[in-house]
């Protein structure tokens, strides 16, 4: 049995290592820096194992006031998000060693990359909404340099836009904390919520409006309409490894904020059947459809994937908005599916750009002949994102649809509207991903009727191993989902 102090290990290990990378002279050389960074990323994943097999741990960090302790606490939800974030962060970090090999300011990049991981671990284990907000803001500040890394005009503009949107969203969340403070028993996250119903009576309208503002605030990081605009700007400007974790991991910080707000702070019983649930469902469904449609029309490869993230993360939010056990199971399954799949897609796009310089979808004819392993990973990930078995994306969308069909607390139109929108979005997803693979593997013939020749330019194993690992994981999780479904069903029973 480990002590509560152990929670500092997955938090401080990457933060202190990131500071060492930035300030210690030997790490100026990539021969020392890259192996050290990889060891830290792997050790951080391994450091979570004792936490997974221990009961609830609570560690008080410091106290702002008698009623505002800043503390870490483990629960099933936090452990799940921590493992997903640490694993995918490590894979993208290993991939980046080849991608960033000729980039400037590598030392700065890896310093911020490691520090961000430590803050994400603290975010997952935050025991109260005040603690969550504090690390949420730290995460934003540490990821801005990743977006702006190249220093080009478009990257700086994208970083500023990302910062403005993030601060606006976080400000809405903080305003909500202030407005809700008179009506809660504490600021801690507790399954079922912490509202003091004796004080809530007569103030339901104010509380519901406040919760809706907080949903918009946390939804900013998750790319939910109307504050989604940073995503399609930041992704094309950032290096591919940063784009991968922005889409696969950083957006999940917004998801975790909404998840904690609905199920562990306000309480699903207070929100179910209200106008807030209806409005939240409308926003998520609109975002799902809008993101897919914009991705379908977009010609830039990374920007197309960015719009896809806008859509796919709102699949998760739709599951949370159903406020049903099955919907919650589907949402958590899609958190994992999207993290694995979208990182694979962005890393595949990065490999293509890195080796060929091609950034437009129209330029990718024959790319499957040039980079067969990369494009097979891209294709299998695309199959999962569309939701075709046996990939995990199929399982998650199945439970999302089942969760919608089991809704009884809101207008019955959502029982069929949610599955219909998910199906339309899946068709659009197939429309903007599959043609890339088809033209990549079947480029046709030249004017003389002979097969076109394309010189192979596959990246090294440094890029390929993380790609293959993430692709295989998304398929295996879809083939054997029973353990995950049982875990999330137990969690749903606890918070509802």
pLDDT confidence tier of residue 235, bands split at 50, 70 and 90:
confident
The percent of residues above 70 in pLDDT, for the chain, comes to 97
- The answer, yes or no, to whether residue 37 has pLDDT greater than 70, is yes
pLDDT confidence tier of residue 170, bands split at 50, 70 and 90:
very high
What is the DSSP code (8-state) at residue 177? H
Q: What is the CA radius of gyration of the chain?
A: 22
* Mean pLDDT, range 459-477, rounded to an integer: 94
- The answer, yes or no, to whether residue 9 has pLDDT greater than 60, is yes
- The answer, yes or no, to whether residue 411 has pLDDT greater than 70, is no
DSSP lists the bridge partners of residue 184 as 195
Q: Give the helix/strand (H/E) hosting 378.
A: helix 372-386
* Mean pLDDT, range 242-259, rounded to an integer: 94
pLDDT in tens, 320-342: 999 999 999 999 999 999 999 99
* Mean pLDDT, range 374-400, rounded to an integer: 95
- The answer, yes or no, to whether residue 447 has pLDDT greater than 70, is no
Cβ contacts of 209-214, under 8 Å, gap ≥ 24: 210/175, 210/176, 210/179, 210/180, 211/176, 211/180, 211/261, 211/266, 211/271, 211/276, 212/276, 212/279, 212/280, 213/172, 213/175, 213/176, 214/172, 214/173, 214/176, 214/177, 214/261
The answer to whether 326 touches 402, Cβ cutoff 8 Å, is yes
- The answer, yes or no, to whether residue 449 has pLDDT greater than 70, is no
Directed axis angle between helix 325-356 and helix 76-99, to 10°? 10
* Mean pLDDT, range 16-28, rounded to an integer: 92
- Specify the pLDDT at position 6: 94
pTM of the model: 0.95
Q: Quickly count: other Cβ atoms within 10 Å of residue 273's Cβ.
A: 15
Q: Hey, CA dihedral for 445, 447, 450, 452, is it positive or negative? A: negative
* Mean pLDDT, range 240-262, rounded to an integer: 94
* Mean pLDDT, range 274-297, rounded to an integer: 96
Nearest to 492 by CA among 76, 185, 196: 76
The answer to whether 417 touches 461, Cβ cutoff 8 Å, is no
Nearest to 342 by CA among 154, 115, 84: 84
pLDDT confidence tier of residue 410, bands split at 50, 70 and 90:
low
The residue extents of the domains of the chain are: 283-302+311-496
The answer to whether 150 touches 106, Cβ cutoff 8 Å, is no
- The answer, yes or no, to whether residue 407 has pLDDT greater than 90, is no
């Amino acid at each position: 049995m480990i002590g509560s102090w152990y929670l500092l290990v997955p938090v401080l290990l990457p933060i202190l290592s990131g500071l060492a990378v930035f300030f210690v002279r030997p790490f100026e050389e990539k021969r020392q820096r890259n192996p050290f960074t990889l060891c830290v990323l792997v050790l951080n994943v391994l450091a979570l194992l004792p936490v997974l097999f221990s009961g609830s741990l609570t560690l008080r960090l410091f106290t702002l006031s008698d009623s505002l302790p800043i503390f870490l606490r483990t629960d099933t939800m936090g452990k799940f998000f921590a493992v997903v974030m640490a694993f995918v962060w490590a894979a993208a970090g290993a991939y980046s060693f080849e991608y960033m090999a000729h980039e400037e300011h590598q030392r700065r990049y890896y310093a911020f990359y490691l520090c961000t991981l430590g803050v994400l671990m603290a975010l997952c284990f935050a025991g109260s909404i005040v603690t969550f907000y504090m690390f949420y803001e730290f995460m934003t500040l540490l990821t801005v340099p990743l977006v702006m890394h190249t220093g080009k005009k478009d990257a700086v503009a994208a970083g500023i836009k990302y910062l403005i949107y993030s601060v606006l969203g976080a400000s809405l969340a903080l305003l909500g904390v202030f407005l809700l403070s008179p009506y809660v028993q504490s600021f801690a996250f507790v399954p079922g919520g912490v509202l003091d119903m004796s004080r809530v009576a007569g103030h339901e309208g104010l509380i519901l409006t406040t919760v809706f503002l907080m949903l918009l605030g946390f939804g900013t990081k998750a790319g939910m309409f109307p504050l989604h605009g940073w995503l399609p700007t930041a992704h094309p400007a950032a290096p591919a490894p940063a784009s991968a974790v922005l889409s696969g991991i950083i957006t999940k910080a917004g998801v975790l904020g909404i998840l904690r707000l609905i199920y562990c702070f306000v309480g699903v019983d207070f929100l179910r059947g209200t106008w807030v649930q209806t409005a939240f469902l409308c926003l998520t469904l609109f975002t799902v459809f809008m993101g897919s449609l914009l991705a379908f029309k977009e010609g830039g490869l990374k920007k197309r994937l960015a719009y896809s993230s806008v859509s796919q993360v709102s699949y998760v939010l739709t599951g949370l908005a159903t406020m049903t056990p099955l919907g919650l199971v589907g949402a958590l399954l899609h958190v994992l599916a999207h993290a694995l799949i979208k990182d694979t897609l962005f890393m595949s796009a990065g490999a293509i750009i890195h080796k060929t310089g091609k950034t437009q979808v129209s330029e990718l004819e024959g790319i499957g002949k040039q980079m067969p392993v990369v494009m097979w990973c891209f294709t299998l990930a695309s199959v999962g994102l569309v939701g075709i078995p046996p990939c995990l994306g199929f399982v998650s969308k199945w439970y999302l649809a089942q969760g919608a069909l089991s809704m009884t607390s809101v207008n019955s139109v959502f029982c069929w509207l949610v599955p219909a929108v998910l199906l339309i979005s899946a068709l659009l997803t197939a429309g903007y991903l599959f043609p890339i693979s088809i033209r990549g593997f079947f480029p046709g013939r030249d004017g003389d009727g002979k097969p076109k020749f394309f010189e192979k330019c596959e990246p090294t194993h440094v890029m390929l191993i993380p790609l293959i690992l993430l692709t295989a994981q998304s398929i295996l999780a879809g083939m054997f989902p029973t353990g995950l479904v049982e875990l999330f069903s137990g969690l749903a029973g606890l918070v509802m």
